[in-house]
Amino acid sequence: MERTRRLANSGEVSSQHLVGFFKDECMNLLWRRAARWLDWMGRDEPERQRAESQWIVAARPLCHLQYAVAYSSCLQRILPAARWKLYFKAATATLPPRRLSQ
């Protein structure tokens, strides 16, 4: 990979070198994402919720960028974990308060 980077900087790059470089970079990205996911799944529930809310807050500033598809796919990855909790909160917020029968 280092050799490919040196070749890219020198201007002597063939398409075969570029394919190898991008393939290596994609594999590195996949391994890093898998490691982060495994690390995240190993946490206890309160810590996972804290990390999830920090992730949402960190993703918010990205909404004004031109990469709207990437931003929405990040949100789709974030929200399913808390979807039922959000549904429950929304349902209880719309119901009238329960009163004890007399």
Q: 59 with 75: CB under 8 angstroms? A: yes
* Whole-structure pTM value: 0.22
For the chain, the domains span 1-42, 44-94
Residue-level pLDDT, tens digit, the chain, 102 residues: 455 555 455 555 454 554 455 556 666 777 777 777 767 666 666 666 666 665 555 555 554 555 555 555 555 555 555 666 766 777 777 766 666 655
Residue 13: what pLDDT? Answer: 47
pLDDT at residue 35 in the model: 73
Q: Measured between alpha carbons, how far is 3 from 12 in angstroms, rounded to an integer?
A: 11
